[in-house]
Amino acid sequence: MIWARPAPPSSDKRWKMVEAAMRRHGYRRDALIEALHSAQEAFGYLEEDGLRFVAQSLRLPLSLVYGVATFYHFFTLKPPGRHTCVVCTGTACHINGAPALLGMLEREFNLRPGQTAPDGSLSLVTARCVGSCSLAPVAVVDRDLMGKLTPEQLHRRLQGCRRHDAG
Amino acid sequence: MTPDELQRAAAAERDAQRKFEHHLHVCTAAGCLSAGSGHLKQALEQEIAERGMHGVCRVKGVGCMGLCSAGPLVSAEPEGWLYGQASPEDVPDIARSLIEGRPVRRLLVPSDLPFFRRQLKVVLENSGRVDPERIEDYIAAGGYAALTKALSEMTPEEVIREVTASGLRGRGGAGYPTGLKWSTVAKAPGAEKFVVCNADEGDPGAFMDRAVLESDPHRVLEGMILAAYAVGARYGYIYVRAEYPLAVQRLRTAIRQAERAGLLGDRICGTRFGFAVEVRLGAGAFVCGEETALMASIEGRRGAPRPRPPYPAQQGLWGHSTLINNVETLANVPPIIERGGAWLAGIGTPRSTGTKVFALAGKIINTGLIEVPMGIRLREIIYDIGGGVPEGRRVKAVQTGGPSGGCIPEEHLDAPVDYESLAELGSMMGSGGLIVMDEGTCMVEVARFFLEFSAGESCGKCVPCRVGTTHLYELLNRVVRGEADAGTLSALEELADVVRQTSLCGLGQSAPSPVLSTLRYFRPEYEAHVREGRCLAGSCGSGDKR
Amino acid sequence: MTTGIKTLRIDGRDLSARAEQTILEVARENGIFIPSLCYLEGLTPVGACRLCLVEVKGAKRLLPACVTVVEEGMEVTTRSERLDRYRRTILELLFTERNHICSVCVSNGHCELQGLAERLNLLHVRFPYRYPRLPVDASHPRFVADHNRCILCTRCVRVCEEIEGAHTWDLAGRGIEARVITDLNQPWGASESCTGCGKCVHVCPTGALSEKGRSVAEMAKRRQFLPYLTLMRDKTP
């Protein structure tokens, strides 16, 4: 039976990172999650072409790959917003004000966790715990961890992101 | 590396360190890093260089020093000063304090605080002292001596015997006897075996394993290599949450360093024993902390558990016998081998030996990472070590075991912290998350919070957990919102029983624990919500924000 | 060298079993009823529906009969007040999870979920119905997938993977959001991997998968093919 390794979906250089991850694991079937991590890292999300490419490279059924990609909440199949806000909803953050942060985000930005603003400016996700419980409540905005956060501070920071985009 | 070579390397590093009169240790674990300790360290290095002090003062990044609420933390040795909440603006004063021999008063954290005095560091003994990114530092502190000792003087059976004698029990929460698990894998048939380190610390509010991995990764590696030697495994995986990028990075660095030093790979320390380790990332699934789900994830599949028996020791990764241990469990192994199992058995209680690392958080003054001997009373942890509740409020309950655990009310704070006592009280040891709650916390809302979590993390394979946790969450929602009726509480209790008894894995089986435990101790709060629509804690008037 | 035969006791009856048999297999051989939904002879058992849980003397927890291999001297109880109560509750959970309306269903009268509810005397559902909005996929030329009737037993996934080999179906999402999908969550009719063999339709215990052209109560499934295929593939001379 002749099986040929598929070509990447496009000439975009980022596919090389995905190929490198699969090669590092010898194209073994169990490299799936590592491959998906590299694709998400490279492109910000998992697109259909990427899933197909990984499935064919690792000789896996399409439905299995889709099933794995959607099981793990770290992976997203939708493009992220220009800015990402991760609100920690761990226990310590929960009793120290995380619900107020989420409430503000719903009122002022019309966003619930898992949603991206229609203009693509901001994605809101929750994390079950980022491990900085002493700084509760915590949110991570574009990889910056903000601790002992008040809704006003978060509001200001996100408005700042929007202004930065516009200006 | 032979034991002699190791000793020489350790001595060489210690000599190199002694050349400096002063050492400034900056915590670079995630908590302090996110409070700016990276900038602080850079500023210190710059100041020291500008003052021409770099020949006498060494600035070193270290791991977690425990008192996270006072971060960023800097310690000065040999002076023994601990500075808290230090920022780049304080750097000139810190440098000057070394020259003048007088500490900066406004930054000083008393080192004889009960927070420090009452702790017993075993797992965290290097945390805050060694540079997690230098194997030489670990070796200078005595690292890998246990491994070279075992490989040159002990048989695998003798290693297992010491671990068994220590009484060590799984620190991931279940408390299964570690020596027994090791000997089961060692005896299992099959030439190919695996060792897996479970670093998928998923309990919200728990960051013990994360701190150990970021602060002393070599210690965990050494424990794994010893385990592999003992059970006859040649390959291992460390399964780490994707949400811990710093831990992943430090582990990968540590693995490379260990390989270069001949402590990993073929022919470790010149013997015929070979062991290789790989880091595998989780991807946001709490259920993957369950052993069979973890293995499914390593095999590249959905993290759905399967029924046990068969256990991983009998049928694990790709059908081979597999040893799975938690980070903290493995970190206990090197000192057991060095000092003997009886040494650890002498700490703690007869059935819960050794120490336990806890992540103290919630309504408490001193939040952070602590390590205490088993058997210590909860009251001592909360008041002596934790410093009590802010604003002089009272403790209402202590939550242990995360979403699988329960709430222990104030009247039981004299209970000893050991596996059996906590289970009897309707909670469990869990992985080490300890959340303190005061009178402003609504216990019904706490139960709802945990059920929302469990329902969201359910893998969906078995009916009782998939549908049952959602219904439990919905029922609790009604209670919190004052929309419940007389039948709601009995439906809640019955369903909790069914989910507990019939779920396929530990997630579903323990998901009802928060409900059952808060019903047991705080039933009046439930009844006030149901009968009067009133929250006794006065906090959940506005209902669900999500 | 042992003969590989074990003896055990189920509901007070002494029975013999081959070494690798499960409690469920031995029970079925001897006409002892243990309810199940995800189990199907010929497919790898998964122990997911939890209906087959039985009490085993000496075991701390209830054990799923479909995956538990018998041990010598095992004492099993398959019926008790508690077990019956648990089984009815599990059925209640299933009925409230999605939209199971027998009166308009192609499998009315031929449905394993319905049949079990009758047999276990389920008279009343105590939990609120969720009424999720779920799709009906009629894109395939010969078959229909009505997700309102799916109980996530994964028989379709297993038969397509283990017997047909196409692995068209799998589970996506998790928890209460879990759902069965084809390929990259495409309409069944657009699937690249589906061979149209129809095995999944016939192993499906409810009306979730059915043949086009069937009206209410007309979808009787033909299950004989599975044990037949298993038998034909057995190459022992």
Mutate to test the interface with B, among C24, C84, C174 (most CBs of B within 10 A): C174
Cα separation of C165 and A28, whole Å? Answer: 19
Q: B491 contacts in C (CB within 8 Å)?
A: 126-127
pLDDT less than 50: residues of chain C: 1
| Contact yes or no for B333/B223 (Cβ under 8 A) | yes
- Closest-CA residue in chain B for A136? B362
Average pLDDT value for residue range A79-86: 91
Please return the burial class of B202, using the count of CB atoms within 10 Å of its CB with bins 0-12, 13-18 and 19+.
buried
Cα separation of B524 and B535, whole Å? Answer: 10
| Dihedral sign (CA B517, B518, B519, B521) | positive
Residue A142, pLDDT > 50, answer: yes
Confidence of residue A114 (pLDDT cuts 50, 70, 90): confident
* CA dist B310 → B313, B316, B411 (Å): 8, 9, 41
| Dihedral sign (CA B300, B303, B306, B311) | positive
For chain B, where do the domains classified as CATH 3.40.50.11540 start and end?
143-344
Cα separation of B414 and B393, whole Å? Answer: 18
Question: How many angstroms separate the CA of residue C218 from the nearest CA in chain B?
Answer: 28
Question: How many angstroms separate the CA of residue B468 from the nearest CA in chain C?
Answer: 7
For chain B, where do the domains classified as CATH 1.20.1440.230 start and end?
444-545
Q: Name the nearest CA neighbour of B311 among B302, B301, B296, B321.
A: B321
**What's the pTM value of the predicted model, to 2 decimals?**
0.94
What per-residue confidence (pLDDT) applies to C120? 95
Cα separation of C157 and C163, whole Å? Answer: 10
Q: Name the nearest CA neighbour of C184 among A50, B302, B459, A34.
A: A50
Annotation: CATH topology of B8-111: Glutaredoxin (3.40.30)
Q: Name the nearest CA neighbour of B216 among B310, B129, B319, B340.
A: B129
Question: How many angstroms separate the CA of residue B219 from the nearest CA in chain A?
Answer: 20
CB contact under 8 A, B283 and A37: yes
What per-residue confidence (pLDDT) applies to C2? 60
Q: B489 contacts in C (CB within 8 Å)?
A: none
Q: What are the structure tokens assigned to B206, written together?
A: 């728990």
- Closest-CA residue in chain C for A51? C184
What per-residue confidence (pLDDT) applies to C236? 86
Instruction: Quickly count: other Cβ atoms within 10 Å of residue B105's Cβ.
Output: 8
CB contact under 8 A, B471 and C93: yes
Question: How many angstroms separate the CA of residue B79 from the nearest CA in chain A?
Answer: 27
CB contact under 8 A, B459 and C130: no
Residue A97 vs residue B240, higher pLDDT = B240
Instruction: Quickly count: other Cβ atoms within 10 Å of residue B401's Cβ.
Output: 28
Please return the burial class of C222, using the count of CB atoms within 10 Å of its CB with bins 0-12, 13-18 and 19+.
exposed
- Give, for C21, the enclosing helix (H) or strand (E): none
Residue A8, pLDDT > 60, answer: yes
Annotation: CATH topology of B143-344: Rossmann fold (3.40.50)
Question: How many angstroms separate the CA of residue A92 from the nearest CA in chain B?
Answer: 5
Q: B466 contacts in C (CB within 8 Å)?
A: 97, 152, 175-176, 178
What per-residue confidence (pLDDT) applies to B541? 58
Confidence of residue A129 (pLDDT cuts 50, 70, 90): confident
Question: CATH code for B444-545?
Answer: 1.20.1440.230
Q: Which CATH number fits domain B352-438: 3.10.20.600, 3.20.20.150, 3.10.450.50, 3.40.50.2000?
A: 3.10.20.600
Confidence of residue A146 (pLDDT cuts 50, 70, 90): confident
Tens digits of pLDDT across chain B (546 residues): 788 888 899 999 999 988 999 999 999 988 888 888 999 999 999 999 999 988 899 999 999 998 888 889 999 989 889 999 999 999 999 998 988 989 999 999 987 888 888 899 999 999 999 999 999 999 999 999 999 999 999 999 999 999 999 999 999 988 999 999 999 999 999 999 999 999 999 888 888 999 999 999 999 999 999 999 999 999 999 999 998 989 999 999 999 999 999 999 999 998 999 999 999 999 999 999 999 999 999 999 999 999 998 999 999 999 999 999 999 999 999 999 999 999 999 999 999 999 999 999 889 999 889 999 999 999 999 999 999 999 989 999 999 999 999 999 999 999 999 999 999 999 999 999 999 999 999 999 999 999 999 999 999 999 999 999 999 999 999 999 999 988 899 999 999 999 999 999 999 999 999 999 999 999 999 999 999 989 998 887 544 433
Cα separation of C98 and C116, whole Å? Answer: 17
- Closest-CA residue in chain C for A63? C183
Count A/B contacts: CB-CB distance under 8 Å: 129
For chain B, where do the domains classified as CATH 3.10.20.600 start and end?
352-438
Average pLDDT value for residue range A151-161: 91
Residue A134, pLDDT > 80, answer: no
Q: In 3-state terms, chain B is what percent helix, strand and coil (to 5)? A: 50, 15, 35
Q: Name the nearest CA neighbour of B527 among B495, B494, B493.
A: B493
CB contact under 8 A, C172 and A64: no
Cα separation of C30 and A49, whole Å? Answer: 52
What is the rounded (10 degree) CA torsion for B513, B519, B525, B531? 120
Cα separation of C168 and B365, whole Å? Answer: 55
CB contact under 8 A, C49 and B457: no
What per-residue confidence (pLDDT) applies to A1? 61
- Closest-CA residue in chain C for B506? C61
Q: What is the interface pTM, i.e. ipTM, of the complex?
A: 0.96
Q: What is the DSSP letter of B244?
A: -
Cα separation of B225 and B156, whole Å? Answer: 12
Question: How many angstroms separate the CA of residue B487 from the nearest CA in chain C?
Answer: 9
- Report domain extents, chain A: 15-71, 83-166
Count B/C contacts: CB-CB distance under 8 Å: 90
B466 in reach of chain C (CB within 8 A): yes
Cα separation of B129 and C195, whole Å? Answer: 63
Name the β-bridge partners of B198.
B239, B326
Q: C53 contacts in B (CB within 8 Å)?
A: 502
Residues of C with CB under 8 A from a CB of B: 46-50, 53, 61-62, 64, 67-68, 85-86, 89-90, 93-94, 96-97, 126-128, 130, 151-152, 171, 173-178
- pLDDT single digits (tens) A32-67: 999 999 999 999 999 999 999 999 999 999 999 999
Question: How many angstroms separate the CA of residue B228 from the nearest CA in chain A?
Answer: 22
CB contact under 8 A, A63 and C173: no
Chains that touch B (3 or more CB pairs under 8 A): A, C
What per-residue confidence (pLDDT) applies to B493? 96
- Closest-CA residue in chain C for B460? C175
Q: What are the structure tokens assigned to B83, written together?
A: 């500075």
Cα separation of A72 and B460, whole Å? Answer: 12
Report strand pairing: A122-127 vs C75-77: unpaired
What per-residue confidence (pLDDT) applies to B116? 86
Mutate to test the interface with C, among A63, A68, A77 (most CBs of C within 10 A): A63
Q: A138 contacts in B (CB within 8 Å)?
A: 34
Backbone angles phi, psi at C194, to 5 degrees: -65, 130
Cα separation of C116 and C129, whole Å? Answer: 19
Question: CATH code for A83-166?
Answer: 3.40.30.10
What per-residue confidence (pLDDT) applies to B140? 94
Q: Which of A48, A52, A70 sits opposite C172 (nearest CB)?
A: A70
What per-residue confidence (pLDDT) applies to C171? 98
Q: CB neighbours of B196 closer than 8 A, spacing ≥ 6?
A: B236, B237, B238, B239, B294, B295, B298, B312, B316, B317, B322, B323, B324, B325
